Chains A and B, each alone.
Chain A
Amino acid sequence: MKCSSATASRRKALKAFSVLAASASLAPFAEASVTTLSVAAFPAVDQILKAALPEFQKKFPHVRVEVIGREFADHHTAMTTAIATGSKLPDVMALEAGFLGRFAISGALEVLSQPPFDALQHEKLFVPFTFQQNRDAHGQVVAMPTDIGVGALFYRQDVLSRAGIAPELLGKSWESYVEAGREVKKATGAYWVTHARDLKDIIIRSNLQPGEGIYFNEHKEVLVESARFVRAFELARTIREQRLDARVQAWSAEWAESFKRGTVATHMMGSWFAGHLANWLAPQTRGLWRTSALPDAAHAPWGGTFYAIPRRAANKPLAWELVRFMTLSPSLQLSAFKAHDAFPALLETHRDSYLDQPVAFLGGQAARALWRDLALKTPAVPLHKLDALAEEIVNTELDKVLSGRKTTQRALADASRMLGQRMRHSA
């Protein structure tokens, strides 16, 4: 069909106008369809999130994700306030394992094991203990794990060699561990641990009987006078009496200095501690540290991060998509592990060859493979709402034992009385 040039130009103009009109009418719609998801996190989870966002936005181009990063303690205080008031409540919040119980047990988090969510479908994909920690008071899943911490022993190979101590002696029993400390102190002058409390922290988390939490059992009875606590207090007292601990608080300037100067020979902490040592605590001690399982075949979870959706969040379906994306992607978890030492909670990532590679900072030891094995043996520790308070009460009573003001029995009896008093008050 032929047409004049004037008609053609009119048609072109009309076409151009219609395209413009269409785009103009669609523009507000397109803008309106963009949903903003807010995610609150702490370092380095906020960085992991930011790094993963381009990939997520490829899958969900209509979603804009706003990451709100705060310092560790500030973040959890801010989340408490946000839930209490409903103001500035994020759609997704990262929660550290130590804080999870407080939020989970109070019923502030969305249940992810009920439709439309399907968290339980993925249970077998994760390290077992971490998928038991993420439950509320009714055993329902309220958070998804992203990284884990398994308790491990770190020791200075060079200091042990100077004292002629075989590393195997450390793991045999708590008694042989303390004995090795005595020898090392005598031969080198180095403190064995940063604080006597470190031993107590591990021992009270070890060998939990079925139905037992750290401080309470399933019948809400206080357990602090049990043999577990007596042994923990007595060993801590031995460490203090023999002057084997540097008496420094974890994360204090003195604590950091003791690693820098190499005045402490061993330290028990989460596997992620190696990353802290290598990156900022004592990078100059590269090649001098090694890691092993905790003494006396003890296994304890130590930290870890979870993503949760607040019950009153605005965009729950999309929030769930983001949580799934962050927790179920093996490649993403591996990148986070490589960049930030965030040990993956996802079992598929554990099969990557990266975990078998030697760790240069730990003298070429295949440490990640060791931690992987430890993770599988680590039991879940049931949580209680008053765990934070119980820990403080027990620590304060231990201080009294360490300074010689109370006997172990008296201190534990007082701790039990105070906990009972608190339970009655909060009931």
Chain B
Amino acid sequence: MKPLIKLRWAPYFFLAPFMLLFFVFGLFPLGFSLVLAFQSWDPVQGLSSMTFVGLKNFAFLLEDDWFWKSLYNTLWLAVVSGLPQHLVAIPLACFIHNRLGRWRNAVIGVYFMPYITSTVAMAILFSALFSTDYGVINTTLQFFFPMQAIDWLGDPDNIKPAIALMVFWRYVGFNTVLYLAALQAIPRETYEAATLDGASPRQQFFFITLPLLKPMMLFSVTLSVIGGLQLFEEPFVLTGGRGGSDQAGMTTAIYMFRTAFEFSDFGTASAISWSLFLVVALLTWATHRLFRGKKEAT
């Protein structure tokens, strides 16, 4: 029987569906957004209204207070919500790995649950928890300490910590699972030899576990850096889409979204997205340098 397609065309034929989808949903938006970053475009006026403005959008961002503020908010949230995730996830993973027997999987499941729960549902729940007058957090605090109710989501000073708490709660389980996977790959014999040599559990943690976890730390910290800098859903829902009072919770991703869809300035929004990309690339590179540098030192 004669084949439907010639053998030399077969790879291209089978790759075509992926290539097509990748082009339409991956490459084209990327390229279009890059083109847009150098244009002035109000989408409501149609594609024909697009005008080339060179670097004007990027120059505008340099003097735009809101862009810098959103970048500061994003970095603050990435550090304050990201760092504790790893500081808690590593010891927690060790505890689950070494101490929990048959309850291990159930406990992992509980910690992983927030990661797979809908962000919107969680944000609604957290809005209720953080409510100034009716929230459980304030009610509990006031039960134990005689104090004024804390305005978690209305006071600019409290918005970022509230968002960071929610982000931490959501991703700590995910990181724990990553570290657990890495712990399982460390040979038992290493610990047995260390025990025979008289190393205490504390010494084993610092001189065996942590160094051998470094590749996974690099991977999960990189994920946290990228995810933290692209933070959108949690602050968006928690602050009613505006970024909160005095825009204290407005991340760069939220600012980009609002610039495009609320202020109808797709050119500037694209410039924001490419600027954010540069920041993400720079910090990811810095993370790699940091871990590589430490590896070389050890």
B156/A399 in contact, CB under 8 A: yes
A421/B128 in contact, CB under 8 A: no
Contacting A at CB under 8 A, from B266-286, are: 268
A252/B240 in contact, CB under 8 A: yes
Q: Is B246 an interface residue (CB 8 A)?
A: yes
From A76-84, A270-278, A353-361, give the one contacting chain B: A76-84
CA distance A85 to B134 in the complex (A): 45
How many cross-chain pairs have Cβ atoms below 8 Å apart between A and B?
Answer: 93
Write the nearest CB–CB distance from A257 to chain B, whole angstroms: 6
A84/B134 in contact, CB under 8 A: no
Q: Is B220 an interface residue (CB 8 A)?
A: no
B132/A247 in contact, CB under 8 A: yes
A80/B43 in contact, CB under 8 A: yes
Contacting A at CB under 8 A, from B128-186, are: 128, 131-134, 151, 153-156
From A30-38, A102-110, A160-168, give the one contacting chain B: A102-110
Task: List B contacts of A418 (CB < 8 A).
Answer: 65
B263 in complex: contacting residue of A83, A389, A403, A421, CB < 8 Å? A389
CA distance A261 to B60 in the complex (A): 47
B42/A403 in contact, CB under 8 A: no
Write the nearest CB–CB distance from A386 to chain B, whole angstroms: 8
A80/B268 in contact, CB under 8 A: no
Asked, given contacts A247-B151, A254-B127, whether A103 binds B240 with beta carbons under 8 Å apart, the answer is no
A249/B240 in contact, CB under 8 A: yes
B245/A103 in contact, CB under 8 A: no
A84/B245 in contact, CB under 8 A: no
Task: List B contacts of A400 (CB < 8 A).
Answer: 246
Q: Is A9 an interface residue (CB 8 A)?
A: no
Q: Is A388 an interface residue (CB 8 A)?
A: yes
Smallest CB-CB separation from A400: which chain B residue? B246
From B13-21, B44-52, B226-234, give the one contacting chain A: B44-52
A403/B156 in contact, CB under 8 A: yes
A83/B44 in contact, CB under 8 A: yes
Residues of A in contact with B (beta carbons under 8 Å apart): 73, 77, 80-81, 83-86, 102-103, 106-108, 246-249, 251-254, 257-258, 261, 263, 312, 385-386, 388-389, 392, 395-396, 399-400, 402-403, 405, 418, 421, 425-426
For the complex of A and B, 5 pairs with smallest distance between CB atoms: A84-B43, A399-B246, A106-B44, A247-B154, A399-B245
Can you name 16 extra interface pairs (CB under 8 A) apart from A258-B133, A388-B262?
A: A77-B261, A80-B44, A80-B264, A81-B43, A84-B43, A84-B46, A103-B44, A106-B45, A249-B242, A257-B131, A388-B263, A392-B258, A399-B247, A400-B246, A403-B245, A426-B265
What are 21 of the A-B contact pairs (CB < 8 Å)?
Answer: A80-B44, A83-B46, A248-B132, A249-B240, A252-B127, A253-B131, A257-B133, A385-B42, A388-B262, A388-B263, A389-B263, A392-B262, A392-B263, A399-B156, A399-B245, A400-B246, A403-B155, A403-B156, A405-B246, A421-B60, A425-B60
